[in-house]
Amino acid sequence: MANTLLEISELKMHFHTDKGVVKAVDGVDITVREGEIVGLVGESGCGKSVTSLSVMGLVPQPPGKIAGGSIKFNGKELTTLSAKELQKLRGNEMAMIFQEPMTSLNPVFTIGNQMVEAIRLHKKEVSKQEARALALEALKSVGIARDGVLDEYPHQLSGGMRQRVMIAMAMVCNPKLLIADEPTTALDVTIQAQILDLMRKLNKETNTAILMITHDLGVVAELCERVIVMYAGQVVEEADVRTLFKNPKHPYTAGLLKSIPQLDQRRKRLYSIPGNVPNPRNMPKGCRFAPRCEFAMEVCREKEPELSPIEKNHISRCWLHSEQKEEADRDIVGNTASSS
Amino acid sequence: MCGGIAVRNAAVFSPCPDASVLFDPVLDKETVLNGKAGEIVIAYAIRRVLMLIPVLIGMSIITFSIVHAIPGSPAQAILGDRANPEAVKQLNESMGLNDPLYVQYFRYLGNVLQGDLGTSYKTGRPILDEIGPYLAATVELAVMAMIIAVFFGVNLGILSAWRQNSAIDYTSMVIALIGVSMPIFWLGLLEQWVFAQELGWLPSNGRIDPRMTFESITHFYFIDALIQGDFYALQDAFNHIWLPAIALGTIPMAIIARMTRSSMLEVMRSDYIRTARAKGVGEVLIVYKHALKNAFIPILTVFGLQMGLLLGGAVLTETIFSWPGIGRYLYDAIVSRDYPVIQSGILVIATIFVLINLIVDLLYAYVDPRIQYGKE
């Protein structure tokens, strides 16, 4: 098995706002190995973007604050690195692409200017001419073959082209890790498929690990080897992609899978998970999914389940599959008995 | 209406400095690639200059009417309060002031079109010859004031935006507020008292030490001093310009600071700033390269308007600091009912104002490539 590249353990990223502390990420563990494509799935607001921005050191602090845990990247602890050292890693050893290709490129500089900047920030010895050549090569590898593109401005390109430029710019320094934060959400379906193909191709060619953040399970099925499901600032399930789609253990994952429209099933209405995501300022006491869960038991509303292994390479945060359930049940019964 | 400047694909701040422009965007990629973009910009500039004509005719009608509505007659002013009414009447007659107003106006317009701005009643010299040195003095002062205003305004604004809601932010914005609200004459007097009177660091008025034997060729003292290699004169000119330039630059500085702050705050939240951070760009480069250029359009608009105002002559500042500029020239003309000077002076100022805003409009395209100039 390949070496571990990124190891996030017990990460807590809290935001201190006027209305109280928002625990956007509350004890998240994620591992990404070299050359691997990992999907990070969850609804909007579950903390997946904040997790990835924390890795990049792009969460504005304040209001954000790392309240605990660690992020180890390539053997380096990122949470204690200085801003300058993090800056050296960003765009160099780890890179990120974003959801909005239309607004993610600076409108007043040419593509060439922005790409050359990305190269020369980290490779000072490269001359401008060499950097332009490298940039052109990177653009060709993402399928933009036109020569003049370096002298064009972002508004002269389509959304799909801009996302290709973003990917080329992210890959130009051969990063070990590429974090892709919903890179296909803003694109139409045919372009989505092209971008996913491109990412898979780059992953094969350069062995760059990809952490794919998405709420689209179709994208996950298409691209990822392993999937991590997040809910309300926590990881609730993790498995390889086949296992997860075939045999989801956490009711939330099962709910997500059920809410994908299927062509061969004639259902009147598409399934949707009842209820809403909990308010991060006021999390439920036990399992965070319990209020929306059709299998919720007494223990679920009282005690938070641990993330525990179910079988090899499959972990879940649910009392249904936890070996510690009986113990927890006993505790609750004992508590109610002693208190009454 | 704002059709002259077409903004594609993006909701950027859309400045509309000239309401009379009504064009559609047609500058497409082919045109750019064929190298015709330059021609289009030149064509646009020529059209804008042509549009100056109606603006200036309107301007001349307004000033002509207002000037003639001022009570008192030039003859009276020339001959003095106790002059013989018969003599006043005769002088009015000989200056053509008894003709119907429209006759007077068309006579004036005809002369202007032939490049004759008229002759000053007071000095008897052609205004075209007279106005040059005054204009040069004002341009010199306005440019210096604007350099101060832009340098401090932009940096204060950036500092505030960079540390929003911090002590730095509040201090900068209080400085800006004081700058906007402080009457210029008060600030000027204060400066003179502190720096000239009490500390004795700088001279309190004039453009240059009158005892200095200094020959002016271009009427721009800085350029003259440089041409002649007279560094002593250069130093002296600098000493003289500081106080009036600071007094004059304070209000634009404050306006630019506030505009920069709000513009930067908006830009710093945008996605491409996050992209730049993700690339590993340092904070200084993010602010001064990636953000400032995007935030610059509104700043440029304010710059253009303020520069126009400053060049229009700062009567108060020029009076307090005995600066022989166009503002003082006009002020003296108004006091002595020197109709031709008032009319032509305002015409010259209006022309400069419109030209500066034209230059600013053309600069937009350099700052933001999404702004393009179309043809009719």
Identify each DSSP E strand in chain B by its residue range: 5-7, 371-373
Q: Chain A contacts of B270, Cβ < 8 Å?
A: 103
Instruction: Give the model's pLDDT for residue B31.
Output: 47
Whole-number Cα distances in Å, B159 to A57, A108, B351: 22, 22, 36
Q: Token match 């060499």: residue? A: A130
Q: Chain B contacts of A185, Cβ < 8 Å?
A: none
Q: Distance from A289 to chain B by nearest Cα, in Å?
A: 32
Residues B364 and B283: their CA atoms lie apart, in Å, by 25
Would you give the distance in Å from CA A23 to the centre of its chain? 17
Q: Do B280 and A106 touch (CB under 8 A)?
A: no
Q: Does A336 touch chain B (CB under 8 A)?
A: no
Q: Chain A contacts of B275, Cβ < 8 Å?
A: 98, 104-106, 166
Q: Do A92 and B280 touch (CB under 8 A)?
A: yes
Q: Does B60 touch chain A (CB under 8 A)?
A: no
Instruction: Give the model's pLDDT for residue A186.
Output: 78
Instruction: Give the model's pLDDT for residue B253.
Output: 92
- Which residue in B has a C-alpha nearest to residue A57's C-alpha? B278
Q: Does A95 touch chain B (CB under 8 A)?
A: yes
Q: Does A102 touch chain B (CB under 8 A)?
A: yes
Instruction: Give the model's pLDDT for residue A318.
Output: 81
- Which residue in B has a C-alpha nearest to residue A54's C-alpha? B278
- For residue range A69-117, list pLDDT tens digits in order: 888 888 888 888 888 888 888 888 899 988 888 889 999 899 999 999 9
Average pLDDT score over chain A: 83
> Of the ranges A232-241, A263-272, A301-310, B17-26, which is most confident?
A232-241
**A235 pLDDT higher than 60:** yes
Q: Distance from B146 to chain A by nearest Cα, in Å?
A: 25
Q: Does B11 touch chain A (CB under 8 A)?
A: no
- For residue range B53-88, list pLDDT tens digits in order: 888 888 888 888 888 887 777 777 777 777 777 887
Give the pLDDT band of residue A325 (cuts 50, 70, 90). Answer: low
Question: Is B74:B342 a contact under the CB 8 Å cutoff?
Answer: no
Residue type, B340: P
- Which residue in A has a C-alpha nearest to residue B370's C-alpha? A155
Residue boundaries of the structural domains of chain B:
135-335
DSSP character string of B154-170: HHHHHHHHHTTTSHHHH
Q: Distance from B135 to chain A by nearest Cα, in Å?
A: 36
Instruction: Give the model's pLDDT for residue B146.
Output: 92
Residues B227 and B359: their CA atoms lie apart, in Å, by 27
Q: Does A87 touch chain B (CB under 8 A)?
A: yes
Residues 332-371 of B with CB under 8 A from A: 367-370
Q: Do A98 and B29 touch (CB under 8 A)?
A: no
Of B277, B282, B367, the CB nearest to A58: B277
Cβ neighbours, 10 Å, residue B359: 13
Of B270, B276, B278, the CB nearest to A95: B278
Name the 3-class secondary structure at B109: helix
Give the pLDDT band of residue A3 (cuts 50, 70, 90). Answer: confident
- For residue range A190-227, list pLDDT tens digits in order: 888 888 888 888 888 888 899 999 888 888 888 888 99
A317 token code pair: 């945060």
Of B9, B33, B279, the CB nearest to A121: B279
Helix (H) or strand (E) holding B121: none
| DSSP state, residue B126 | B
- For residue range A11-27, list pLDDT tens digits in order: 888 888 888 788 888 88
Instruction: Give the model's pLDDT for residue B21.
Output: 36
A189 token code pair: 């379906």
Instruction: Give the model's pLDDT for residue B82.
Output: 76
Residue among A50, A1, A41, A2 nearest A23 (CA): A50
A with B: how many residue pairs have Cβ under 8 Å apart? 76
Q: Does B279 touch chain A (CB under 8 A)?
A: yes
Give the pLDDT band of residue A307 (cuts 50, 70, 90). Answer: confident
Q: Does A271 touch chain B (CB under 8 A)?
A: no
Burial class, A88, CB count within 10 angstroms (exposed 0-12 / middle 13-18 / buried 19+):
middle
Name the 3-class secondary structure at B10: coil
Q: Does B8 touch chain A (CB under 8 A)?
A: yes
Of A91, A102, A107, the CB nearest to B278: A91
Q: Does B33 touch chain A (CB under 8 A)?
A: yes
Q: Does A117 touch chain B (CB under 8 A)?
A: yes
Instruction: Give the model's pLDDT for residue A305.
Output: 82
Q: Chain A contacts of B276, Cβ < 8 Å?
A: 106
Cβ neighbours, 10 Å, residue B153: 30
Residue boundaries of the structural domains of chain A:
1-93+174-283, 106-172
A128 token code pair: 């401008």
Q: Do A91 and B274 touch (CB under 8 A)?
A: no
Between A232 and B4, where is the model more confident? A232
Which residues, in sequence order, are bridge partners of residue A315? A238, A309
CATH superfamily of A1-93+174-283: P-loop containing nucleotide triphosphate hydrolases (3.40.50.300)
Of B10, B278, B368, the CB nearest to A90: B278
Q: Chain A contacts of B293, Cβ < 8 Å?
A: 108-109
Residues B204 and B196: their CA atoms lie apart, in Å, by 5
Residue among B353, B259, B350, B254 nearest B300 (CA): B259
Low-confidence ranges of chain B (pLDDT < 50): 1-34, 375-376
Angle, helices B127-162 vs B339-367, to 10°: value is 40
Q: Chain A contacts of B33, Cβ < 8 Å?
A: 148
Domain at B135-335: CATH code: 1.10.3720.10
pTM over 0.80: no
Q: Do B275 and A95 touch (CB under 8 A)?
A: no
- Which residue in A has a C-alpha nearest to residue B366's C-alpha? A108
Q: Do B8 and A155 touch (CB under 8 A)?
A: yes
Residues A109 and A112: their CA atoms lie apart, in Å, by 8
Q: Does A107 touch chain B (CB under 8 A)?
A: yes
**A253 pLDDT higher than 90:** no
Instruction: Give the model's pLDDT for residue A332.
Output: 64
- Phi and psi at residue A64, in whole multiples of 5°? -75, 155
Write down the ipTM of this complex: 0.84
Residues B65 and B164: their CA atoms lie apart, in Å, by 50
Q: Does B270 touch chain A (CB under 8 A)?
A: yes
Instruction: Give the model's pLDDT for residue A336.
Output: 56
Preferred mutation among B275, B288, B293, B367 to probe A, highest tally of A CBs within 10 A:
B275
B252 token code pair: 């634009």
Instruction: Give the model's pLDDT for residue B16.
Output: 39
Of B270, B278, B281, the CB nearest to A96: B278
Cβ neighbours, 10 Å, residue A205: 10
Q: Does A153 touch chain B (CB under 8 A)?
A: yes
Residues A275 and A133: their CA atoms lie apart, in Å, by 53
Q: What percent of chain A has pLDDT over 70?
A: 93
